[in-house]
Amino acid sequence: MQIFPIELIEGCKKGNAKAQRNLFDFYYSYMYNVCLRYVKDEMDAEDRLSEGFTKVFKHISKFTYEQENGFRAWIKKIMVNECLMFLRKKNNFFLVPLTDAEEIAVDDINLEEIGAAYILQSIAELPIGYRTVLNLYIVEGYAHAEIGQMLNIKEATSRSQLNKAKQALKEKLFTYKSINYGKG
């Protein structure tokens, strides 16, 4: 990513349309991929991105710039929240029973032998509840208590979803490895 010009934030705070367009263009690819991690459909991801940037521009005057990473994290949080609100409205969460919350290890798979594209595709194919918790926990770095609050679920349910996601992913990757490398 190129160096971020602080002047764009100031322009956006003043409502400058050109600054807003440049800020959008600067973060488009990164934030679109964030949305796509949560919302599989490309058009829905585009819609979430647009809604998210609308909120960014509406609330940018409240943001105090300290560093580019902080600003990117602020935008990313808005995008993630926008996606989560969308997913909650669609009521697509498939949550497993709490009794299935055992810890699943994924150490048995050599991920270097499996292509990144296949891993990302496998994650995208997970049920929405699994995929959402996996993204929030592993990619975004949220704790289970935070995920529980964000999704309106219990902390234990978040743990269960993560473990079920790991198990489903592990099975997919083992199958791929067995087929493509003759190992299991």
Instruction: Residue 105: give its domain's CATH number.
Output: 1.10.10.10
Query: Do residue 78 and residue 109 come from a single domain?
Result: no
Query: Do residue 133 and residue 86 come from a single domain?
Result: no
- Lowest model confidence (mean pLDDT) among 94-103, 129-138, 173-182: 94-103
Supply 40's token pair. 């599989």
Full domain range(s) for residue 86: 6-90
Query: Do residue 72 and residue 120 come from a single domain?
Result: no
State the Cα–Cα distance between residues 184 and 16, nearest whole angstrom.
57
Number of domains in the chain: 2
pLDDT top residue among 87 and 114: 87
- Among 35, 62, 90, residue at a domain's last position: 90
Query: Do residue 85 and residue 108 come from a single domain?
Result: no
Q: What is the largest CA-CA distance in the chain?
A: 60
Tell which residue, 157, 145, 165, 146, has the closest CA to residue 37. 165
* Torsion 15-20-23-24 (CA) sign: positive
Query: Do residue 85 and residue 128 come from a single domain?
Result: no
pTM of the model: 0.71
Q: Tokens 């949560």 identify what position?
A: 38
